[in-house]
Amino acid sequence: MSLMITDECINCDVCEPECPNNAIYQGPEIYEIDPDKCTECVGHYDEPQCVQVCPVECIPVGKEESREVLAARYTALTGNPCPS
């Protein structure tokens, strides 16, 4: 399961520009994460940037996908092998 934004989101707009895959978008009520685009920043950063910048901690961690799944998604999205 990719990262998700909970209903504690205050629509502050700090997470959306931090996503290197453009996986975060404004939903009907709160920001949402497209699971087909979310790599939890694997291939770009060491940690999910949205989690790092969220002021209300509405993107819980703990149910992340395996690095192998995320690396494969990165490769599918970018056409490049995932850097180690």
The residue type found at 2 is: S
Distance between CA atoms of residues 57 and 79, nearest Å: 32
Please name the CATH architecture into which domain 16-78 falls: 2-Layer Sandwich (3.30)
Q: Where are the domains of the chain?
A: 16-78
Please give the model's pTM, rounded to 2 decimal places: 0.91
Size of the chain, expressed as the number of residues it contains: 84
**Angle made by CA atoms 73, 32, 15, in degrees to the nearest 5:** 85
Confidence of residue 1 (pLDDT cuts 50, 70, 90): confident
pLDDT given at position 40: 95
- The predicted-structure confidence for 2-50, as pLDDT tens digits, reads as follows 899 999 999 999 999 999 999 999 999 999 999 999 999 999 999 999 9
pLDDT given at position 73: 95
Distance between CA atoms of residues 65 and 3, nearest Å: 9
